[in-house]
Structure 1
Amino acid sequence: MLTFPLINDTSRKIIHIDMDAFFASVEVRDNPSLKGKPVVIARNPLQTGGRGVVSTCSYEARAFGIHSASAKEAYDLCPQAIFISGNYEKYTKVSKQVREIFKRYTDDIEAASIDEAYLDVTENKIGAQSAIKIAKLIQHDIFVELGLTCSAGVSYNKFLAKIASDYEKPHGLTLIMPEEALEFLAKLPVEKFHGVGKATVPKLHALDFFNGGDLQKADPVDLAERFGVYGWELYQKANGIHNSKVKNYRERKSVGKERTYGKLLYLPDDIKAELSKISGKVSDSLKSHQLKGSIVILKLRYSDFTTLTKRKSLAEKLESPEEIAEVAQEIFEELEYDESLGVRLLGVTVTEFGAQKSTLDMQ
């Protein structure tokens, strides 16, 4: 087996903050009568003909086995659950309030999603030597000021901090020190490795890789041959190595909008009209970010949840609503559209911006 020098930067202090059942927790906070009850953020399937998916749910709902599921599956598991459609605008506002709390301690913040973020506190605004101290202060501030709880993971890299924040929830705080990382990871099942998807787990099991310890003993060349660059990265992570820096911005890779229809669309002319409306919104977003793209992607979902996606590459970059709509409609005409099923969702995305001046989405 070939060996490679593994360079591990253990000098950084990284915190991963993960809001606990974020959307559901905000709803319970704003309506205390929901406390202790199974709350599911999704439209009630009894009112939608069984359509809809669960965004998140309270821990009381999770006790019934509800996680990522359709609203119908959630109802079957827990008919007494309280279904709430959700208010993304409100959740975004609260997310920004959480970010303002982060800024008291560091400006090196990378939002992973609306309810989680990485913070590099190696150098911080309060001059604290202890990342644990800062994590506790953040948890305190969020609880006292916003009435919400979060879980925190602390370690020397983003990968380990993320795993640590998942280790004890809700309102947990887990520290993984450099000298503890290998032993901690050796016991961790491969399905708990952040980035290992459901499709990859059986492939790893088939090769007798069941935990981090198995990956630590693997031949990295063999992993790379079987899984490409991802295999080499997985070997490094199993050995506690992940040198990706906390980035306080993300360059926008695509701009897209989609819409779900309560009343299904059947007629091609109606679908094309909706594509024009969606294209207009995509165009507005492109212009606000000073972007033009040369690939248009159409997404179409039937009433039975079958989803079709098709893209078209163009010689020139575009941003106008008329141009985007024209391409989206051309793509639709090229699909083998089944008019009998009805369309419940349409989406239009523009990507492939290439080298051009663009704004950055501050997270």
Structure 2
Amino acid sequence: MNPNKKSFIFHIDFDSYFVSAVRTIKPYLKNKPVAIARSSYKSLAVSVSYELKAKGAKAGMTRGDILKIEPNTIFVSEDFSLYTNLSRKIFAYLQEKISHKILIASVDECYLDVNHLVNDEQKALNLAKYTQRKILEVFDIPITIGISTTKW
């Protein structure tokens, strides 16, 4: 092992994943204030769109509190089979097209070891940007990629 060789690990997080996933099957919800929550006024949102985040709403807030921030919020019920099935497809794509060295951390997070593909910061950044574009193009899911030398 070469001690001077840099190591590159991608930490991939799907952005506002539950909202993003719902928008893949309900595209009319794009660019609208959307929250994923049950129907009770006091139920907590598990995910909120960037349109709501920009106004101060956060996951974990009650429906009532979100409605105070944005009365036109569209609430959608949770669909865990959608989230699970879509994330499996995205992880499979990443493993097949980007790097076979993947560690799935949750339904919307994973680590990719890309050491066999890149050997400097610029190449790592270029690969990360390419990966973001491809996931958005193929799955219509925005992702954020952190680049590090370790998972921690």
Preserved CA contact (<8 Å) 2:8 2:118: no
Determine which of 56, 64, 71 is the counterpart of 2:55.
Answer: 64
User: How far apart are 1:10 and its partner, in Å?
Assistant: 7.7
Preserved CA contact (<8 Å) 1:10 1:157: no
Preserved CA contact (<8 Å) 1:101 1:141: no
Instruction: State whether structure 2 residue 66 is matched by structure 1 residue 74.
Output: yes
User: How far apart are 1:84 and its partner, in Å?
Assistant: 0.3
Cα distance, 1:67–1:10 mapped onto 2, change above 3 Å: farther
Instruction: Extract unaligned runs of 5+ from structure 1.
Output: 1-8, 160-363
Instruction: State whether structure 2 residue 124 is matched by structure 1 residue 131.
Output: yes
Counterpart Cα distance in 2 of 1:56 and 1:119:
24
> What's the Cα RMSD here?
1.9
Preserved CA contact (<8 Å) 1:39 1:84: yes
Q: Summarize deviations over 1:73-105 as a string: whole Å, max 9, x none.
A: 222222210000121101111101110122122
Cα distance, 1:106–1:122 mapped onto 2, change above 3 Å: same
Instruction: State whether structure 2 residue 137 is matched by structure 1 residue 144.
Output: yes
User: How far apart are 1:128 and its partner, in Å?
Assistant: 4.0
Instruction: Extract unaligned runs of 5+ from structure 2.
Output: none
Counterpart Cα distance in 2 of 1:14 and 1:36:
32
Q: Which amino acid aligns with 1:13?
A: F
Preserved CA contact (<8 Å) 1:101 1:138: no
Cα distance, 1:156–1:10 mapped onto 2, change above 3 Å: farther
For normalisation by structure 2, the TM-score amounts to 0.84
- Report sequence identity in percent: 31
Tell me the secondary structure at the aligned position of residue 66 of structure 1. Answer: coil
Count residues in correspondence.
144
Which residue number in structure 1 is paired with residue 101 of structure 2?
108
Identify which of structures 1 and 2 has the higher relative contact order when contacts are C-alpha pairs closer than 8 Å and 6+ apart.
2
Preserved CA contact (<8 Å) 2:104 2:110: yes
